[in-house]
A and B are shown apart, each in its own frame.
Chain A
Amino acid sequence: MSQPESAIADAQAGGPKNGTPTKGQEPLAKLAERYGLRRAIARPSLPVYLRQLWERRHFITTYATARNVSKYSNSALGQLWQVLTPLLNAAIYYVMFGLILGAKGGIENYPAFLITGMFVFTYTQRSVSSGAKSISGNLSLIRALHFPRAALPLAYTIQEFQQLLISMGVLVVLVVITGELPTWLWLLVPVALALQTMFNIGASLVLARVGASARDLNQLLPFIMRTWLYASGVFFSIQDRVVNAAHLPQWIADVMYFNPAAAYMELMRDLLMKTHELRPYIWQVCVFWAVFALIGGFWYFWRAEEKYGRG
């Protein structure tokens, strides 16, 4: 079917070059090569890709801001929900785990412990789950315009980052209200957030590629996120629950602290709360995850660049 079709078109196309019908039929690929035409779909090398992405930085930030503005344009409280959602969550978990189930253990200033964990975890959770939808939810955009596709998960993470800046302000106020006084360590909070943002970008790039082909991911994601939430020690101290209360070996707790969400939460608590016990290697774990996720995420996402948009 395709061969004769191509041959005829070839003859037609090659023919009119000198106004005379064709004699020798040049394959179209050869013709393209002779005139230096390139394949419409070809993946650029990674450095070129990153440069293209950099050239699109205005699009990425504008798109993120636009999404943030339009997201709450229908609700009466508007942008306030960015703060209310984690606050309400923290309130529920405080009642459930702090008061009823008594997960407090030996934690001093449990409200600050809980709220810090909640806000930090929410940032990663939202970046990752919106990243998973960034390709599959934007197929019409991908099929209409040219841009490095990584711009989409990036824009989604930046959108979450913009929201985080607001909720960090709230977090600081709340932590002070619970009785923590500012220390020099607080100056390191932006560094911790930068590391977490690097991890979030990488993770959302990975999930963007997975979500682009595996459509069931969006259904499964709530499960995964819930499990992650419980395993990360948002409302209890892993050390306290796993080793002291359940008498499990120490290495299990160590493995659980290697979980990036747990590590970023621990780091933030270390910085904000004077009473929080500093764990060894938390900085190293945070840096490792940031670098590993960012590089790995870009590489993994870029590998399928030309396939996004096929449905």
Chain B
Amino acid sequence: MAELTEELSHVKAEEPGVPKTDVRVHPDPEPAGKDKERVPTVIVDDLHIIYRVYGAATDNEKGNAANALMRLVKRQGRPQMKEVHAVRGVSFVAYHGDAIGIVGRNGSGKSTMLRAIAGLLPPHSGAVYTDGQPSLLGVNAALMRELTGERNIVLGCYAMGMNPAQVKEKYDDIVDFSGIGEFVQFPMSTYSSGMGARLRFAIASAKSHDVLLIDEALATGDREFKRKSQERIKQMRQEAGTVFLVAHNLDVIEETCNRVIWLHKGKIKMDGDPKTVLAAYNA
């Protein structure tokens, strides 16, 4: 959910004009020397994702157990359930060494698609094939605000699948990188939003991945931390085989990616080299 709120803060500034035509550029932005043998690492084959959304319940649908029982008895189902067709038939192939930027307006299915690539959201139809285990950069959901930074670092590392030795090894790194100093002994609920974001990023980026999926992680902290975290991302990119990057900050995408996919209403509107796609996206 944190990504959503972060996205919201960006949307106003960068609402793009949407061209009506469905332009497709040939996606071969690789320099000529590189394309001898390109090994696919992620294949997305006609992917459809449908979300079920609960909520928007009226007063008399919610609340006590008696109402729940009545609904079961009357077999009304769940009146407040809605289905959202977030990704509608996306296909592409990502190769080893690719850094793919994903752009699109809010609600265009970027984060959903990322989660599907990570294997965290089951596809409604179609499939995602991957080499190794793609992982999403982000541990926010595993952390607990009432706990100290120390405990959260350990918890977050375990949540990402580290073992005790790795946690010990990374612990000081994480504290140093986050730069929160002695605040690490205080509950995270006492942190400023910047400090919290820094600690979360420091934990999340402590692990290296084969296929790395980054969802708006760069927009955190102050200028100094932004620089540090961009460097960390670059380093992770070099270690990882393939990187996907969702961002509203188009400069970051232009700087780090060699290919950009533009999603619009759950479909690929354009797929190609950053200059061409971003130019069209901004048009």
Interface size for B (C-beta < 8 A) is 77
- Write the nearest CB–CB distance from A6 to chain B, whole angstroms: 4
CB contact under 8 A between A40 and B72, given known A16-B27, A56-B161: no
Which residue in A37, A56, A69 is a CB contact (below 8 Å) of B131?
A: A37
Q: For the complex, is A2 an interface residue (Cβ under 8 Å from B)?
A: yes
Once bound together, how far apart are the Cα atoms of A310 and B64, in whole Å?
25
Shortest Cβ distance from A306 into B: residue: B122
CB contact under 8 A between A16 and B28, given known A39-B129, A66-B151: yes
- Write the nearest CB–CB distance from B273 to chain A, whole angstroms: 11
Q: For the complex, is B171 an interface residue (Cβ under 8 Å from A)?
A: no
Shortest Cβ distance from A4 into B: residue: B89
Q: What is the size category of the interface that chain A forms with chain B?
A: 35 or more
In the complex, which residues of chain B have a beta carbon less than 8 angstroms from the beta carbon of A9?
90-93, 268, 271
Which residue in A15, A62, A144 is a CB contact (below 8 Å) of B141?
A: A144
Q: Is the interface of A mostly helix, strand, loop or mixed?
A: helix
CB contact under 8 A between A309 and B121, given known A35-B131, A73-B146: yes
* CB atoms of B135 and A12 under 8 A apart: no
Instruction: Identify the stretch in A25-33, A84-92, A228-236 within 8 Å (CB) of chain B at 4 or more residues.
Output: A25-33
Once bound together, how far apart are the Cα atoms of A19 and B138, in whole Å?
36
In the complex, which residues of chain B have a beta carbon less than 8 angstroms from the beta carbon of A105?
none
Q: For the complex, is A106 an interface residue (Cβ under 8 Å from B)?
A: no
In the complex, which residues of chain A have a beta carbon less than 8 angstroms from the beta carbon of B145?
70
Which residue in A1, A58, A69 is a CB contact (below 8 Å) of B151?
A: A69
- Write the nearest CB–CB distance from A268 to chain B, whole angstroms: 29
Q: For the complex, is A24 an interface residue (Cβ under 8 Å from B)?
A: no
* CB atoms of B121 and A32 under 8 A apart: no
> For window 20-54 of chain B, which residues contact chain A by CB distance below 8 Å?
24, 26-28, 30, 32, 35, 38-46, 48, 51-54
Q: For the complex, is A143 an interface residue (Cβ under 8 Å from B)?
A: yes
Some 26 contacts from A to B, beta carbons below 8 A apart, are A2-B48, A2-B88, A2-B126, A12-B24, A13-B91, A28-B43, A28-B129, A36-B131, A40-B127, A40-B130, A41-B119, A41-B128, A56-B158, A59-B155, A62-B154, A69-B146, A70-B144, A144-B142, A145-B135, A145-B159, A215-B54, A216-B68, A216-B71, A219-B65, A309-B121, A310-B52
